[in-house]
Structure 1
């Protein structure tokens, strides 16, 4: 006979499953496309399919309350001018990350906890304030709760600010010498000349020795975008692979970096919008509040967590054994590329859960981050129950 504790756990897992629906045929992983023939200069280097076991998809454009989404964590901390190598400090605040309005208006329509008065909208806004307080500029950061994100394909739909004097960043991070970065400096944008640079960076031990100036190393490239990134949403992506990183915009290859400077371990994903007055980088502070809007994040990756790896392997095995075709091919989902034509919506999503239901973070015992994310303290028991419940839903 099941104990009350056991029944309670099973009931909690049923609730999670009802609010965390994922395409039933993805138990064995995801295939993404890495295509040389998508380069902007017409170069054809051949196609490559990349296989990843895990998924994390966040539809910010459907969200009404970012504070309820345990997959992501708003950050609050201060960086001094000296530590940040700027003329001003940076004051990261919870209120600087909020859900935007439905009509595309970037006005802050949220309560102090990050919730919105609307029914969803363009996404999550990260604001850099124009008023300096105590020698620090108000800035914004949103981090993934999971820290086990290893090799993978990481994508974000973003609309950049046209206000001069900020740095918008989408990056993977382990520490200051293991970082993969896409950064956009609004002071560099020139709509008349159609100049919209993307700064593509890998921070490494070499960049640390150069005073964290990656431009003095071989892992810094500036590529001009062929569109105005402030006029609408576009998908920015990097594929983090063994000994190489590929950078994309709307699925068009921007650059590739290789070698020992490429990180090799797990980390997390960070969305950041900041300014510290450094005339050589962010510039600023901005003359008016500047907003970076993020409509979604998609991540297809391999986890460094052994419990997650074991759960994935068992889930795939069960799915194959219950299938008429015992091969895993019919349980692997192919990820469609997002192009300029559908960048505003993000294309297809496998995660069909309600973006406004509370979701689990990295240490949520329910495993509420869906496919392959059971990092509970009682991982073995929870995973076994979850797999049984999943099979009853197929």
Structure 2
């Protein structure tokens, strides 16, 4: 039988616990997001985020989730190929999972779930129809930029994830399906610089171009491709593994993120074009960056007047391929989103897809920084209090 003093202690323990949780909740990520621990020498802090969970995004209005489909034509002459390039919004389509609680399985229209960027096989009108989208945000100045995607396996397309300010300040990860062999692939790591402009917009003739072999075919599974950009260097990664550092001609202006998938038949680059419709599929985009926008900078100073390491959230490294296929697909594709975890995206624009997805995300990620991790502590305190 419990004593009155024990019950009083229990009430006191509960009040102390809830007050502590309130303080912790108020401190979640207020001072931003970090690559590596704040105690590490390679620590980098970013104030803003943009996260998209395309496995669960069901929309035709992509601007509403932070991305603007592009619509324009480039003549064959200007595209430097036998065909022109044509980008139309209709070539960007959402294909989410049918089950909003799952992270793998059947999609609405069949095939791999995710955002589809199509290159069309009919180019009888002299243009190859492809897809491109740009982030609504144009204020990204340094950051960590990540995409999980499966490339097209049809020979003759180029798929790219990149940041862009202008033709002499651009950071690219580009994939040419013609470079995939039976077991391996390649990613082209590129900085477009004033030197590449002088070379006729051909970065391959500069030091800021690396052809990086990959130990897998990018068209067979989803992998995370990432670049971290600081004033000193641009570092490239795949599934959390470091590939290359570029330390010269580092961009210094703010700009937008882009995704595209295209072909113009140029045998020196995209090759092709493909004879049938083919898609690049994106399962997520995650970006953590500093903003050049004065209003966003003011917002940050309001919620974080002085940087406090206890109010900085470390960005999890994706160290395995976030692939939804296979026996463990529901686990490997289930990656962490701050914006799906209540309270971890203070004063950020977030694109929660459904409550089901959010609940599923929280079930899978009761991490050490989450309130759920403190439940055992609460139980222990309550048991101690009522036993005294």
TM-score using structure 2 length: 0.73
In structure 2, the partner of 1:173 is 164
TM-aligned CA distance change 1:59 to 1:280, over 3 Å: same
Kept after mapping to 2: 8 A contact 1:55/1:300: yes
Q: Which range moved further: 137-146 or 66-75?
A: 66-75
TM-aligned CA distance change 1:118 to 1:165, over 3 Å: closer
Moved over 6 A (4+): 118-121
What is the CA–CA distance in structure 1 between the aligned matches of 2:300 and 2:50, rounded to whole Å? Answer: 14
Q: 2:117 aligns with which of 126, 149, 170?
A: 126
What is the CA–CA distance in structure 2 between the aligned matches of 1:173 and 1:256, rounded to whole Å? Answer: 18
1:341 deviates by: 4.9
Q: 1:52 aligns with which of 29, 46, 54?
A: 46
Q: Work out whether 1:240 is the aligned partner of 2:229.
A: yes
Q: 2:197 aligns with which of 201, 208, 219?
A: 208
Deviations along 1:129-148, one digit per CA (max 9) or x if unpaired, are 01014210010001100000
What is the CA–CA distance in structure 1 between the aligned matches of 2:26 and 2:79, rounded to whole Å? Answer: 43
Kept after mapping to 1: 8 A contact 2:49/2:348: no
TM-aligned CA distance change 1:331 to 1:66, over 3 Å: farther
Unaligned runs of 5+ in 1: 1-21, 35-45, 105-115, 321-326, 355-366, 372-394
Q: 2:148 aligns with which of 146, 157, 172?
A: 157
CA RMSD of superposed structures (Å): 2.7
What is the CA–CA distance in structure 2 between the aligned matches of 1:166 and 1:252, rounded to whole Å? Answer: 25
Q: Work out whether 1:290 is the aligned partner of 2:285.
A: no
What is the CA–CA distance in structure 2 between the aligned matches of 1:33 and 1:178, rounded to whole Å? Answer: 26
Q: Work out whether 1:272 is the aligned partner of 2:260.
A: yes
Deviations along 1:89-141, one digit per CA (max 9) or x if unpaired, are 0110111000125379xxxxxxxxxxx96699721100000101421001000
1:137-152 equivalences in 2 (<5 Å) = 137-152=128-143
| Matched positions, count | 305
1:83 deviates by: 1.1
What is the CA–CA distance in structure 1 between the aligned matches of 2:128 and 2:195, rounded to whole Å? Answer: 29
What is the CA–CA distance in structure 1 between the aligned matches of 2:334 and 2:197, rounded to whole Å? Answer: 35
What is the CA–CA distance in structure 1 between the aligned matches of 2:165 and 2:26, rounded to whole Å? Answer: 30
Kept after mapping to 2: 8 A contact 1:29/1:51: yes
Unaligned runs of 5+ in 2: 1-24, 100-106, 325-332, 352-388
| SS across alignment from 1:48 | coil
TM-aligned CA distance change 1:175 to 1:303, over 3 Å: same
Q: 2:187 aligns with which of 192, 195, 198?
A: 198
What is the CA–CA distance in structure 2 between the aligned matches of 1:229 and 1:47, rounded to whole Å? Answer: 32
Higher helix fraction: Structure 1 or Structure 2?
2
In structure 2, the partner of 1:33 is 36
What is the CA–CA distance in structure 1 between the aligned matches of 2:276 and 2:110, rounded to whole Å? Answer: 27
TM-aligned CA distance change 1:214 to 1:346, over 3 Å: farther
In structure 2, the partner of 1:369 is 349
What is the CA–CA distance in structure 1 between the aligned matches of 2:188 and 2:271, rounded to whole Å? Answer: 15
